[in-house]
Chain A
Amino acid sequence: NTKQTSIMTFFKKS
């Protein structure tokens, strides 16, 4: 089983 990650895990607020 896989779970979806969030794009915000990888790209931080600028």
Chain B
Amino acid sequence: MFEARLVQSVILKKVLEAIKDLLTEATFECSDCGIQLQAMDNAHVSLVSLNLRSDGFDKYRCDRNLSMGMSVPCMSKILRCASSEDTVTLRAWDNPDTIVFVFESPNRDKISEYEMKLINLDQEHLGIPETLYSCVVKMPSQEFARICRDLSQFGDAMTIACSKEGIKFSAAGDYGTANVKLAQTAETENQEEAVVVEMKEPVKLTFSCRYLNSFVKATPLCAQVQLSMSAEVPLVCEYQIGEIGHIRYYLAPKIDD
């Protein structure tokens, strides 16, 4: 049997919001360690990697490893039926063809059950090589979301340049150009507002704005986002999910034609 309970269903609601732009279906791998998902978008430009550790759940039981193929829009619809204060329990039997979502109100006077059919997916699993990145930037996630939104008005692509001075985002298009520079913040008490650059070598890479604007749908999950970059390899855009895990987005760069 598989059973995973989260007192804060809002976490799972936010996770679905963070993946539903990119994925239409995905296999959730459940094991003793927790729930993992790895899936590419349809165009194979980006990859989403989600990890929810079993010890982050309020109750977790997984008697045998399960691979559950799920429709992301359907799962998203179901999670929209949960109130943010509800507790959520995911439940499936061994060799399941359905998964059940149970939502309980805080005083347990309302219990809702939604059963969703699982789908058979033959998804390709990719090996992500261990990489030491040339630049790792931590910055407020809302600021990153805002920059992605603002710069995407100017062009389809955004260049991210990281140096010891800080991080610079730029876009160019028919209307003109846009540049936003963020300096590394001094030691600050408010870590959520900090911009921290760890740089071994400067990096300059160009990425599709459309994908970045999908990644920033994860903003409600975490006050900070971590961007890891090296020349000519995919960007890693990572959000911590409370004490339970993380979501990482990998985005293939655009290169000169």
Q: Given A2-B206, A7-B252, A13 and B125 touching (CB < 8 A)?
A: yes
A11, B147: Cα distance in complex, Å: 28
A3, B156: Cα distance in complex, Å: 11
Q: Is the CB of A10 within 8 A of B40?
A: no
Q: Given A2-B206, A2-B255, A2-B256, A7 and B47 touching (CB < 8 A)?
A: yes
Q: Is the CB of A13 within 8 A of B127?
A: yes
| A residues near B255, Cβ cutoff 8 Å | 2-3, 5
Range for the number of chain B residues in contact with chain A: 20 to 34
Q: Is the CB of B126 within 8 A of A2?
A: no
- Enumerate B138-190 residues with CB–CB distance to A below 8 Å: 157
Q: Is the CB of B45 within 8 A of A6?
A: yes
* B240 CB-CB contact with A under 8 Å: no
Q: What's the tally of chain A residues with a CB closer than 8 Å to chain B?
A: 14
Nearest to A9 among chain B residues (CB) is B252
Task: Give the most central of A2, A6, A14: most B CB within 10 Å.
Answer: A2
Q: Is the CB of B234 within 8 A of A2?
A: no
Q: Is the CB of B44 within 8 A of A7?
A: yes
- Enumerate B221-243 residues with CB–CB distance to A below 8 Å: 233-234
Nearest to A1 among chain B residues (CB) is B257
A9, B257: Cα distance in complex, Å: 16
A9, B46: Cα distance in complex, Å: 11
* B208 CB-CB contact with A under 8 Å: yes
Q: Is the CB of A7 within 8 A of B234?
A: yes
List the 8 closest pairs (A to B, CB-CB), nearest first: A14-B127, A11-B126, A2-B254, A5-B252, A1-B257, A7-B252, A6-B44, A3-B257
- 26 A-B contacts, Cβ less than 8 Å apart? A1-B256, A1-B257, A2-B157, A2-B255, A3-B254, A4-B45, A4-B252, A4-B254, A5-B253, A5-B255, A6-B45, A7-B40, A7-B45, A7-B126, A7-B250, A7-B251, A8-B44, A9-B252, A10-B250, A11-B126, A11-B128, A11-B129, A11-B250, A12-B127, A14-B125, A14-B127
Q: Which residues of A contact B (CB under 8 A)?
A: 1-14
Given A7-B234, A14-B125, 14 extra CB contacts under 8 A: A2-B255, A2-B256, A4-B45, A4-B252, A5-B45, A6-B45, A6-B252, A7-B126, A7-B252, A11-B127, A11-B128, A11-B250, A13-B125, A14-B127
